[in-house]
Homo-oligomer: A and B are copies of this chain.
Amino acid sequence: MQPMGTAQPLGAENDLYQTAATPDITSPKGFTAGGVHCGIKRKRKDLGIILCDVPASAAAVYTTNVFQAPPLKVTQQSLAVEGKLQAFLCNSGNANACTGEQGLLDAFRMRAETAACFGLEEHRVGVVSTGVIGELLPMDRISQGISHLAIQTGKEGHEDFCRSILTTDTCIKAAEVSVVIDGKTVRIAGAAKGSGMIHPHMATMLAFVTTDAVIEPPVLQQLLREVTDETYNMITVDGDCSTNDMVVSMASGLAGHAPLTPEHPDWAAFRAGFAHVSRELAKMIARDGEGATKLVEVKVTGAPDVVTAKQAAKAVVGSSLVKTAVFGADTNWGRIFCALGYSSPLIDPEHVDLAVGPVQLVKDSQSTGVDEALARRYLEEEHVRFHVHLNQGEAEATAWGCDLTYDYVQINASYRT
């Protein structure tokens, strides 16, 4: 499995940071990582860890699903103490969700054993699980796995960790940028996993963002919340918001600049870099949606307000009919209008324009008469962009998703069998 490439975003923002060609979650100062096979999955790595040499400022956002899994509750308890983490343990193959009292005890045990193994205080350890819902964790295997975790910096630690968190993902997902704060280089790196039960409500999958920036936990928490709304919350694969979704960020503070706040002169650069890493991870998750062959990007401009723009972009990218049409490279733009039309009552139905890539298919809600073969050819590409202009105002939003394919059905009709 190769990591997916990190494309440059459009706009002037990308002057504020440098993207790294080979992302590495251990690249920010102070971080190490590892991953092993402990026996939850048959063969592949299923237990991973991120460690920090020092207590790192930490922040997290969690799924809004009411069946929030026990490990998320344990992580919340850890963060509540002082907002600092030194280790984050993640297993894949079993979500430890809908597992009652025993599930909660197991999550606490994962935390306790990780703390004991690495000589940390329990409240400086976070835990998370992903995989099948409703089955108890094989705790003996996890205990053994924790003791076998080999911790490394660089490519090996990074890849071992990235692999250990995957479920039906087909590739590892990572991104990294560097920014300059007070004249010092600060790194921001991230790793994530998808790829089913992905839908925009709060955090919608697992993502880990490390940085050596100096930043207090409440500032990091606020930033993470804002960026999550623009990135992870703007992707959808299948409309299902999981019980275990979480985004977590750890900042070691080892870069040695003045603490970051929105008032810091280099805040814009840090925010842009942090958002870039999150956006790239979000797009990789969308592109690697179960069974997907294409990344679909829907940009809505000219909306009366941001909420309408977001609803419209997410409705189009989430529509099963649009997703199958993209899979079939069918320029059935009526489906896009159908989705726009149920996304919000605030949309003016008379003046909507639509471009499929470079092809202007619709102007003022009617066909432009352009040769649809042009659009069909464009839809054969792997990254498909729709641009909807509502001609109502200045607000805009972008959402990402993927096509709906035979393989999505195949993967999910036989996930456990």
Contacts and interface: CB of A to CB of B under 8 A. Distances in A.
Interface of A: 64-68, 95, 97-100, 132-135, 196-197, 199, 201, 238-243, 318-321, 324-325, 327-328, 330, 332-335, 337-342, 344-345, 347-349, 362, 364-367, 404-406, 408-417
A64 B342 contact: yes
A98 B337 CA distance: 8
Nearest to A65: B341
A330 B100 contact: no
A330 B409 contact: no
Contacts of A243: 334, 337-338, 341
Given A67-B338, A98-B366, A335-B133, A409 B409 contact: yes
A133 B337 contact: yes
Contact of A67 (B332, B365, B367, B413): B365
Contact of A342 (B201, B328, B333, B362): B201
Contacts of A408: 320, 324, 409
B238 A321 contact: yes
A234 to B, nearest CB: 17
The oligomer's copy count stands at 2
8 contacts: A68-B349, A98-B362, A98-B365, A98-B366, A135-B367, A240-B339, A241-B338, A330-B415
A413 B321 contact: no
A409 B412 contact: no
B328 A417 contact: yes
Instruction: Report, nearest first, the 7 A-B pairs whose CB atoms are least far apart.
Output: A133-B334, A328-B413, A324-B412, A67-B341, A65-B341, A241-B342, A238-B320
B240 A67 contact: no
Interface centre among A99, A320, A366 (most CB of B within 10 A): A320
B97 A334 contact: yes
A332 B332 CA distance: 34
A232 to B, nearest CB: 15
A348 B66 CA distance: 8
Contacts of A324: 408-409, 411-413
Contacts of A201: 342
Contacts of A134: 333-334, 337, 362, 366-367
Contacts of A133: 332-335, 337-338
Given A66-B340, A239-B318, A240-B335, 16 more contacts: A66-B341, A66-B348, A67-B338, A68-B341, A97-B334, A98-B365, A98-B367, A132-B334, A133-B334, A243-B341, A324-B408, A324-B412, A330-B413, A332-B416, A405-B409, A409-B409
